[in-house]
A and B are shown apart, each in its own frame.
Chain A
Amino acid sequence: MGSKDLSTLKNNRLMVFFGILILLVPFGCMEKPRVSVTEPPPVSAPAPDDKQPPASVPDTDNAHVRAAAAMVRQGRQYLTRGEPDAAIRILERSVALDSSSGQNYYYLAEAWLMKKNARQAREFNRLAGSHLAQDVAWETRISRQRNRIDELEK
C-alpha cells in the first residue's frame, strides 16, 4: 500500500472520527433528563378495605405519637366490638397525646356516628379532613363518612 493510500486512509479515519464527534455533539448538548430530588408526586395508596382501614402507625421517634397510635388501635377495636363509649374514652386520651393525628378524629367521628350524634360526628369529621387533607386514601374515607353523617341528619 502506497503512502498516498495510507494518508487517504488516515484522512478517512479522521473524517469518520470527527463526523461521529459532530454527530454526538447535539446529543451532548441535549438537556439531560431531570432527576427529581424533591418529594415525589403523591401516590394514591390502594383504597383501604371498607371494614378494616389500615392502622398506619407513624414512623417517628416521638414517643407520644407512638403511644397515641397504640390508643387509636385500641379505639378501633372497641368500635369493632360495638362499644362507642369505650372507644371515645380512649380516643379522647389519644387526642390529648397527639392532637395532630387525623385518624384520632376520624375514629371519634365513627364513634359518634355509632351513637347517632351527627353534630359531634361532623365536627370530628371536619377535623379529620383538615389533618388528613394530603392523604388521598383517607380523603376518600372521610368523604364517605361525611355522606353517612348527612344521611344520619336527614
Chain B
Amino acid sequence: MKKLFKSVCIFLAVIIGAVIVYGWHLSARIEKRFSSRLWRIPSTVYSDTTLLYPGQRFGPAHLREKLSRLRYSTVSTRPQKKGEVRFSTASAEIYLNDFSMPNQNRPGSLVRIRFNRKVIKSIEQVDDRNLLPILELEPEEIGQFYGPKRQRRQLVSIRQVPNEFIHAVLAAEDGRFYDHHGFDPIGILRALYVNLRYGEIRQGGSTITQQLAKNFFLTPERTFSRKLNELILSVIIEWMYEKDQILEIYLNDIYLGQSGSVAINGVGEATTFYFGKNVERISLAEAATIAGLIRAPGRYSPYSQLDRCRQRRDDVLKAMRARNWISVEELDTARSQPVRAVAERVSVKKAPYFLDYLSQQLEALYSSDDLTRLGLSIFTTLDTRVQSAAEQALIRGLNRLEQTLPTLKRPDPTRQLQGAVVVLQPKTGFILAMVGGRDYNTSQYNRVVQSRRQPGSAFKPFVYLAALDALTPVSRLSSVPQTYQIDGKLWTPENFSKDTEMDVSMRAALATSNNRATVDMAMRVGLESIVDQVARFHFTTPIQPYPSLALGAFEVFPLELARAYCAFAGDGVLPYPLSLKDVTDDHGQVLNQRHLNIENLITPAKAYIVTDMLRSVVTDGTARALGTWNLPRSIAGKTGTTNNFRDAWFVGYTPDILGLVWVGFDNGDSIEASGSKAALPIWADLMTSIPDYLTGADFRMPEGVVRLRVCSESGLLAEGRRCPRPVEELFEAEKQPDRPCPIHPAQGPLKVIIDGLKGLINPQK
C-alpha cells in the first residue's frame, strides 16, 4: 500500500512537474507573442487636406460630396456629434471631426458655412460667431498597403469603447468573462444543453480568452489535444494579464466581416465600416449588431442577411437585459430601431497610379513589409477633386476621339487608345492628380512616369528659352524650306500648316508652331547652347545636338516635361515634384517629412517672356480653340504633335495650376489627330471641371522686363506713325532696343500730313 501510494505520488509529481515546465514554456511563448506587435496594421495613405475660405468658388454640392467622402452623416437637426452635417438652402452646419495631422491638432467644433450660390460667403464658429478666414477639412483616405493577409484594422484602446459595446460583446460571447479564470465550465455545460435542445450549434462554450488563445497560438482544427492546449493557454493568459488587457486585445482582433478581398478586423474598423462612425459614437443597437456578427459575420451580415442580422442583434440585446446591463426601456428602444448600415464600401484604391508612384517614393524609406505591418499614416499632396476631374476628363476625351475617329477603336482593351494626365501646382511642385492610363484594371502601366515619348512641339518653349539669350520675341526667323544634314542623311523640316509667310517673328513662330522657323532659330542660336540650357531642366534622356532636337525629337517622361514647364509658371524656379508630405507612426509621431524644394533655374524675366509667348499660342496660335471654353484669360500653353501623329500633347498653365495631357497608342500607332484636337480638349474639360482652382490671377510681370512699342520688321523702336506695323513687345531690360527703326525713316511735315490723311481714310488696325 505504501509502495502504491509512493508510486502515485511520484507519478503525480512527474505530471505536475511536466505541467509546470510546459506551462512555463507556454507562458514564455505568450509573453513573447503579446509583447511584440500583435497585428499587421496596414499603412494608410491620405490625400491632402481641403482648404475652404470666404469668396472661394466651392458650392454646396461640392461640399456635400466632399463631406460624404469624409464619411460625415447628414442629419436634419443641428449636429450634435462630431462627424454630422446639416444642409439648408444656403448654408451648412458641420460638426467637424477632430483634426490630427503632423504639426496640427484641432479639436472638432461646430461651424457654419454660408453660401451665395456656388461661392462660400462666410465661415463662422457657431458658439462664438467668430468669422474664420480659412477652414481646413481633414484629408481623405485614398488607399492602404496590405500584407499577405489583407486585413483592415483600426486599433482602439478599451477606454475608447463604450461600456454598452463591451457589454454587448460579452453578452454575445462570454457573459461571465469577468468571473471565470480562462475557461468557464458553467458556460460549457450551458452551451451543451442549448445546442442539444435545439439540435444545432447555438452557443459556443469557448470563452473570450480561449478564442484569443486559439487565434494567436493554435490552428483551427478540432482535436482533443488542440482543445487541451487551448484550455491551458487560456489559464496562463488569465494568470499573466488583467481582464481589461485581454478584452482589449480581443476587441481589436476579432474578425467581423469582409470588404471584397479585405477582412474587417476589430471593433474600431467594424464601426467605421458598417456604420460610418468611430467606436465612441456607436449606439446600443449598433453595438449589439456588431457584437452579433462575431459568431459568423457572413451569416449575420447586415448587407446580405438583414433579417438574420436583426434577429441576432435582438438576441444579444435580450442577453444584455438578462444580465441587467440594460433597462427594459433601453431594450425596447434598441429593438425598435431598424438595422441601418451605411452603404457597403468596397476597399478600392483611389488614384491607383498615384499610389503606385507613391509606393516607389516610399521604397526609399520603408520596406514593403514595414508598410504592410507598422500602421503608418502617409500624407500626400493628392487633391481628390482634381484627381477625379482628371480621370473623368481623360475617359470622356478618349471616348470622344474614338467616336469622332472610329478607326482609333481597338477591340483588345490592352491595345486601346491611351492617355495620361498629370496636374501640378506650379509654384510648389505638389502633384495634385496623376492618371497614368485609361483604366488601371486593364493596365497598371503608369504612362506619366514610365512611358518615354517624344514631346514634339511641346518641347519648343525650351528651345525658344535658349534663343532668348541672343534674340527677342520680335526677332525675325526664316520659314523658307531648308535641308539639313544629320549623320549623313538629309532632313527637311516641314510645317503642319501651309503658310505663305517666309519670315515670321519669334513670337509668331512659337504661337503657330512653325517648324522651319524653329529649326532656323535653333541653328542660328547654336544647338550646343540649346543642349546646355535644356540639360538644366533635369530631363533624364541624354539630348544630342541635332537639328531635330528643336522639334522635340527625343523622348521624355510626361512628369519631367510637366515639371520643366513649372519653371515658366513659377518665376524661373524649378520645383521638385512632390507626392509625399509626411509619414507618421501609429502613435502620430512624425517619422518623415518632405517639403517644397525649389531650384533657381532661369531669370524671372525670361520665364515671364516665354510665358507671354505661350499666351500667344492660346490667343492666336495652335491652342486658340481654348477660347471657346469658359476659362480665364491668363492661360499659357503649348500643343505638341509628333511625326505621323503618334503623340498628341497639350501642356497648359495659369499662375495657379499646371496640367499636362498626353494621348497616344502604346505601340506608336497614329492617332490621326494633333495635340490641339486630341489633347487640348481633355485639358480644357479638366480645367472647366475645377473652376475654383483657377483664381483668374494674371502672371506677374517681374522686374527686368519692359514692354515697348517696336517695329515688327526691324525690332527697333517705332516712333510716331513711321512704322506701318508697330507691335507692343516684351524685352529683357538689358536687351531692350534703344534706337529708332532705321527701315522707316523720319518723315517731313508734308509727308506726315499726307500720311495722316491716308490714315483717316484707311485706318491701320
B703→A130 contact, CB < 8 A: yes
A99 in complex: contacting residue of B133, B593, B599, B655, CB < 8 Å: B655
Cα distance A96–B104 when bound, in Å? 19
Cα distance A75–B570 when bound, in Å? 21
B134→A123 contact, CB < 8 A: no
B700→A66 contact, CB < 8 A: no
Cα distance A120–B573 when bound, in Å? 12
Q: Is A10 an interface residue (CB 8 A)?
A: no
| Chain B residue at smallest Cβ distance from A88 | B595
B contact residues around A99 at 8 Å (CB): 426-427, 570-571, 655-656
Report B444 CB to chain A, min CB distance, Å. 30
Q: Mark A63-84, 1 if CB is under 8 A from B, else 0.
A: 1101101110000001000010
Say yes or no: A130-B697 contact (C-beta < 8 A), given A67-B133, A88-B596, A92-B595: no
B655→A64 contact, CB < 8 A: no
Q: Is A15 an interface residue (CB 8 A)?
A: no
Q: Mark A85-99, 1 if CB is under 8 A from B, else 0.
A: 110110011011111
Report B377 CB to chain A, min CB distance, Å. 15
Q: Mark B577-602, 1 if CB is under 8 A from A, else 0.
A: 00001000000001001011111100
State the majority secondary structure of interface residues on B.
loop
Cα distance A93–B697 when bound, in Å? 16
B428→A95 contact, CB < 8 A: yes
Q: Mark A120-154, 1 if CB is under 8 A from B, else 0.
A: 10011011001101000000000000000000000
A contact residues around B54 at 8 Å (CB): 63, 66-67
B103→A66 contact, CB < 8 A: no
Q: Is A62 an interface residue (CB 8 A)?
A: yes
Cα distance A66–B133 when bound, in Å? 8
B134 in complex: contacting residue of A62, A71, A86, CB < 8 Å: A71
| Chain A residue at smallest Cβ distance from B432 | A96
A64→B600 contact, CB < 8 A: no
Cα distance A63–B52 when bound, in Å? 10
Cα distance A29–B667 when bound, in Å? 84
Report A153 CB to chain B, min CB distance, Å. 15
Report A34 CB to chain B, min CB distance, Å. 26
B contact residues around A71 at 8 Å (CB): 134
B contact residues around A88 at 8 Å (CB): 595-596
A127→B703 contact, CB < 8 A: no
Report A108 CB to chain B, min CB distance, Å. 8
Number of interface residues, chain B, beta carbon within 8 A: 35
Residues A44-74 near B (CB distance < 8 A) = 61-64, 66-67, 69-71
| Chain B residue at smallest Cβ distance from A104 | B427
Cα distance A127–B700 when bound, in Å? 13
B contact residues around A62 at 8 Å (CB): 55, 695, 697
A contact residues around B430 at 8 Å (CB): 92, 96
Report B563 CB to chain A, min CB distance, Å. 16
| Chain A residue at smallest Cβ distance from B590 | A85
Cα distance A133–B701 when bound, in Å? 12
Cα distance A131–B570 when bound, in Å? 12
Q: Is B185 an interface residue (CB 8 A)?
A: no
Among A93, A123, A133, chain B packs the most CB atoms within 10 A around the CB of A93
A70→B700 contact, CB < 8 A: no
Q: Is B384 an interface residue (CB 8 A)?
A: no
B600 in complex: contacting residue of A83, A123, A131, CB < 8 Å: A123
Say yes or no: A70-B597 contact (C-beta < 8 A), given A64-B53, A64-B695, A86-B103: no
Report B594 CB to chain A, min CB distance, Å. 10
B53→A63 contact, CB < 8 A: yes
| Chain A residue at smallest Cβ distance from B605 | A130
Among B56, B581, B596, chain A packs the most CB atoms within 10 A around the CB of B596
B contact residues around A86 at 8 Å (CB): 103-104
Report A6 CB to chain B, min CB distance, Å. 58
Q: Is B436 an interface residue (CB 8 A)?
A: no
Q: Is B425 an interface residue (CB 8 A)?
A: yes
B contact residues around A130 at 8 Å (CB): 571, 604, 702-703
B contact residues around A98 at 8 Å (CB): 697
B571→A64 contact, CB < 8 A: no
Residues of chain A at the chain B interface (Cβ within 8 Å): 61-64, 66-67, 69-71, 78, 83, 85-86, 88-89, 92-93, 95-100, 108, 120, 123-124, 126-127, 130-131, 133
9 extra A-B contacts, CB within 8 A, seeds A64-B53, A95-B427, A96-B430:
A62-B55, A62-B697, A63-B53, A70-B134, A85-B593, A92-B428, A92-B596, A96-B425, A130-B703
- For the complex of A and B, list the 4 residue pairs with the smallest distance between their C-beta atoms, beginning with the closest: A63-B55, A70-B133, A86-B103, A67-B53
List 17 interface pairs A-B (beta carbons < 8 Å), by A numbering.
Answer: A61-B55, A63-B56, A64-B695, A66-B133, A67-B53, A67-B54, A67-B55, A71-B134, A78-B103, A85-B103, A85-B590, A92-B428, A92-B596, A95-B596, A99-B655, A123-B598, A130-B571
